[in-house]
Structure 1
Amino acid sequence: MINVIASEWLKLRSLRSTYYVLACTLSALVITGAAALSISRYFDTRGLSGEIVGTGLRFSADIPPVLFGMLGVLAISGEYGTGMIRLTLTTVRRRWMALLAKATVVAAVAAVGGQVVAFATYLTAQAVVSGRPIGASLSEPAALAEVLAAGAGSAVAAVIGLALATILRSTPGALVALVALPLLPAVIERFLPAPWNDWVASLTLPALTRQLAGVPDAGGFGPFTATAILAGYVVFSLFAAALVINRRDV
């Protein structure tokens, strides 16, 4: 298994798309900085009577899941496109092992990358706030937890992207599904009464990541439930992908 993981790591870091995706995560810093600057200017003119910046992660919370989900998609969809997946599955007789190795690699890269982006985003927000009482110190309750939880959310997104590409065998199809699926809770919750609407809206990856950290008013679930749901996303995605890859010719 270690050799298979090493092979998948070599494949992932040899893809130019990996570096393009990682570079695009810098957009989170730009968006957060712009939002923090706008709120800081409002504070300078009207005082503490509006929105606060806090950690700043919520301003760009939708970006890392999409980008690291794309990383998961591109980790396997290219092999389907070129036909190299046949060589992979011929070399690794147990197809589920190849899938698990890919999931391990993309999850690890996304977790580290997501964590780096989270800390960079936090530092960007605090630099823009520049001592105003609208930021958040890492010593405050839930602030450090919110930053640390970002890596977990990115890892889950990468595994989901990998599973979608495995099931659909299409880069465009998997990318469309990756963007469309997170929108479903926001659409469904509009037609549900309370508290069901709050629970459905709490099922998105950004919301679950903040609930995992115990951020107040982040959603309808506590840290334990949010952790269980995130784990469920990973297990269900990999199980569905494993069923497909084992039963389908490539």
Structure 2
Amino acid sequence: MRRAGHAEWTKLRTDAGNLGLLLGVLVLTVAVGAGVALTSRCDAAGCGGDPVRLCLTGVMAGQVAVAVLAVLTVGNEYGTGMMRTTLTAVPRRPTVLCAKAAVVAAVTPAASTVSVLGSLLVGRLAAPGRGFTPEHGYPALSLTDGSTLRAAAGSVLYLTLIGLLSLGVALVVRDSATAIGIVLALLFVLPILARVVADPDWQRHLQQFAPMTAGLAVQATVGTGRLPIGPWQGLGVLALWAGAALTAGGRLLCSRDA
């Protein structure tokens, strides 16, 4: 397992495109979060805004780069035929799956942590000037606050799970473009459907079921009682999506020819 993991790490770090995608996670997450934080306002006490969630909005953009990175760890090998070489060098296919998942699960949190901390720093600096002040009921953003820490740690876990979900989908379909399309549809189409459905009960169920809306509930620090699903329960739904994708991908990896 150690040699397989080292081989996967070598493949990932020697591909210049992967470095660009990791940088993209940072840039997209911080830039979009900063844009939202700098354009949001709280003009009076009880305005109902959630400054932590606002400055972490960029996670929705950063997840695209995470998904692409995870898909390409598999899709590139199938596209070039390199997967045959990988499976010849490591005949035990569950080991190949575990090695790829371990590398994705190690690299994604590293990039995600820097991105989330950068977003919170921008939010801490910008929030007072946008009306999110103690006078309006909003103390300065700080990781010593339990809900803020949960939102930050949950966002890192969210991006990691998105990476594992994408890896599993790529193993199922074995084509990069198709896998990326499926992952993006799962993330963005289901929330759109929830908005256009007229029945409020179905809206709520779709929000509880959709991997993005459920998973990002972990970022909420204001009005958590009104969420369709609780913060950690929502992250659990995303974990089930990721687990199901990896299980399906692993079984097909073991049963199909390269």
Amino acid at match of 1:232: L
Please identify runs of 4+ aligned residues in structure 1 that moved more than 6 A. none
Residue 179 of structure 1 corresponds to: 184
Does the alignment pair 1:29 with 2:25?
no
Residue 239 of structure 1 corresponds to: 247
Does the alignment pair 1:195 with 2:201?
yes
- Per the normalisation by structure 2, the TM-score is 0.84
Residue 143 of structure 2 corresponds to: 138
Amino acid at match of 1:97: T
| Cα 1:184/1:34, change in 2 over 3 Å | closer
Tell me how far apart the structure 2 counterparts of residues 184 and 127 of structure 1 sit (CA, whole Å).
34
Report the alpha carbon displacement of residue 204 of structure 1 after superposing the two structures with TM.
Answer: 3.8
Question: Is residue 61–residue 206 contact of structure 1 (8 Å, CA) maintained in 2?
Answer: no
Report the alpha carbon displacement of residue 153 of structure 1 after superposing the two structures with TM.
Answer: 0.7
Amino acid at match of 1:242: G
Residue 70 of structure 1 corresponds to: 68
Tell me how far apart the structure 2 counterparts of residues 104 and 218 of structure 1 sit (CA, whole Å).
36
| Cα 1:149/1:50, change in 2 over 3 Å | same
| Cα 1:62/1:218, change in 2 over 3 Å | farther
RMSD: 2.4
Residues 45-103 of structure 1: per-residue CA shift (max 9 Å, x gap): x5557564512344223112221111101111111111111010111112122012101
Residue 9 of structure 1 corresponds to: 9
Tell me how far apart the structure 1 counterparts of residues 151 and 33 of structure 2 sit (CA, whole Å).
15
| Cα 1:227/1:167, change in 2 over 3 Å | same
- Does the residue aligned with 1:138 lie in a helix, a strand or coil? coil
Amino acid at match of 1:6: H
- Per the normalisation by structure 1, the TM-score is 0.87
Count of residues in correspondence between the two structures? 246
Amino acid at match of 1:88: T
- Name the % identity: 23
Does the alignment pair 1:230 with 2:224?
no
Tell me how far apart the structure 2 counterparts of residues 241 and 157 of structure 1 sit (CA, whole Å).
15
Tell me how far apart the structure 2 counterparts of residues 197 and 181 of structure 1 sit (CA, whole Å).
16
Does the alignment pair 1:152 with 2:145?
no
Question: Is residue 29–residue 121 contact of structure 1 (8 Å, CA) maintained in 2?
Answer: yes
Residue 162 of structure 1 corresponds to: 167
Tell me how far apart the structure 1 counterparts of residues 112 and 203 of structure 2 sit (CA, whole Å).
29
Tell me how far apart the structure 2 counterparts of residues 17 and 218 of structure 1 sit (CA, whole Å).
41
Amino acid at match of 2:51: G
| Cα 1:36/1:222, change in 2 over 3 Å | closer
